[in-house]
Amino acid sequence: MCVWLALLTGLLAAPELDPAALLDGDILLHTSRSAQAVAVASASGSPFTHVGIVERTGDGAFVVEAVGPTRRTPLATWLARGEGAKATALRHPGLDAATRAAVVAAAAGHLGRPYDLSFTPGDDAIYCSELVALAYAAVDVALGEWRPLGELMLDDAAVKRLMARRWRDHPACRGARSLAACWPALAAVPILTPASLAADPRLRIVGTTYLPRPR
């Protein structure tokens, strides 16, 4: 079943997103406007194509995000940047304030790292959902399900175009003469999507603007 359909029950029951009520360590998801986002949405079966971590400071609220390089973005700017200015916020209900602060500190420890166009875990570059996973792993919380790339929905034209542009630079394809030749290694690469984070049962939806509200 499409991840988006599986999430609808939770979204329907969630209140409207209130930016002022967000806490350190909350996870924000939206639909970014890039060509890559179209491929990510098709491959994961979800409109959630980008994710970051909320940080509240004396200077205001920010989102720590891996976009190239990993950086802090003002919360209002981040929310406005998504398609239709829509976003969904998730929270791990079992974390106290100190642990949430530790999540933010762990995410901030990756500031300046380049964006990982190959979505490869364990290298010097980092992508958005990988940043969230690493930040929470620092407080011994494992989030989302890492799945082999080959298990995603890869038949869409946007996905195929993205793979055709990037396979030559992927670490799994070093020395390969074609995408077909490197596909067995590429298909085995574990990947964590924003949709997988959104579907994690340990997180609860604390607000969303993805669904229209009755007037």
| pLDDT tens digits, 18-57 | 999 999 999 999 999 888 999 999 999 899 999 999 999 9
Domain parsing of the chain, residue ranges? 3-208
Compute the average pLDDT of residues 141-164. Answer: 93
Instruction: Compute the mean pLDDT over every residue in the chain, rounded to the nearest whole number.
Output: 91
Q: What is the pLDDT of residue 215?
A: 43
Please state, in angstroms and rounded to a whole number, the distance separating the CA atoms of residues 119 and 127: 6
Helix and strand numbers (H, E) in the chain are 8, 8
157 vs 211, higher pLDDT? 157
E strands, 18-159, are 27-30, 50-57, 60-66, 70-74, 88-91, 147-148
Q: What is the pLDDT of residue 210?
A: 86
Please state, in angstroms and rounded to a whole number, the distance separating the CA atoms of residues 135 and 133: 6
Q: What is the pLDDT of residue 16?
A: 87
Q: What is the pLDDT of residue 206?
A: 93
Query: Rounded to whole angstroms, what are the CA distances from 45 to 6, 55, 211?
Result: 10, 28, 17
Residue 1 pLDDT > 60, yes or no? no
Poorest-pLDDT segment among 7-11, 103-107, 157-161? 7-11
Q: Classify domain 3-208 at the CATH superfamily level.
A: endopeptidase domain like (from Nostoc punctiforme) (3.90.1720.10)
pLDDT tens-digit map of 193-206: 999 999 999 999 99
Identify the H or E element spanning 206.
Answer: strand 204-208
